[in-house]
Amino acid sequence: MKQILFFAASLVFLTSCALQKGQIRMQKPEDEIIPTQAIMSFLASNPNPSIVLRVPSPEQQATENDKNNNIYNAIEKELILGGFNVKDRALFNEVTKKAKEYTYEQLHQLTGVDLILELTRLENPHKYFTNTVYDRKNRKVILSTDIVKHGSLVGFKLIIVAQNEHGGNYTFYYTPCLEGNNDCRCYVGYKNRGARVYPSISFCSRKKYSYQDFEKDNFEELVRNGVKKLIFEIKK
């Protein structure tokens, strides 16, 4: 009996000391889709309005040197597909350099722009933190340190130009390592029941290396889907 107990205790000790693989399961924030009655009423009367995209740093304008230019183009393409008359943002920025001299109504008259879609947040990566993983038996393990994974988010604000009215706020999230996602990058190594953590170990290969969890193409997909949801909500 003593030998059996000793063997069992040794097995538990060796198991806890061996490298374990824990699965990360993040919680996704709810997308924030808050249209105003003003924008819904405006679109009911103006189903194909003109619109311009205002980016976080308008002084950069729409140049090939802007690292986010492909994202801006993707947004504008979705707006066109959604029935909007998209105006050139670089020309609009030239006019708004003198914004202090004009009212919104005058800007509307000068540019022919009905709506401004302001890109308020563009975060890639956007960091997610957790100190919880699940072992192979689906048991929760609390780690001694937080694990950081990278997702992204995009946020918009709509402005009805002529009346200078708020058209709503919209934020869309990509969250990595959601439940049911068996991506090898959503696993982390640990020992001693979470007392020691090895976040740099990759279960995609035998090598240790640092990697980005979110790829460029997926970020563009998030942005495109976000614009589609925005258009659907304000036009329904």
User: Please, what's the b/e burial string for 16-44 (b: 16 or more CB within 10 A of its CB; e: otherwise)?
Assistant: eeeebebbbbbeeeeeebebbeebeebbe
Segment 45-93, tens digit of pLDDT: 999 999 999 998 655 444 445 689 999 999 999 999 999 999 999 888 8
User: What are the 10-residue block averages of pLDDT along the chain, 236 residues in total?
Assistant: 45 62 93 96 94 78 67 96 95 79 84 95 93 94 94 96 95 90 87 91 64 63 96 93
How many CA atoms within 13 Å lie on the side-chain side of 140?
6
Contacts of 105 (CB under 8 A, 6+ apart): 161, 162, 163, 164
Domain boundaries, the chain: 20-235
Q: Which pair of tokens denotes residue 236?
A: 């329904």
d(CA 14, CA 34): 53
Q: Which pair of tokens denotes residue 5?
A: 């107990």
- According to CATH, the topology of domain 20-235 is Double Stranded RNA Binding Domain (3.30.160)
Q: What is the pTM of this model?
A: 0.83
Average pLDDT, the chain: 85
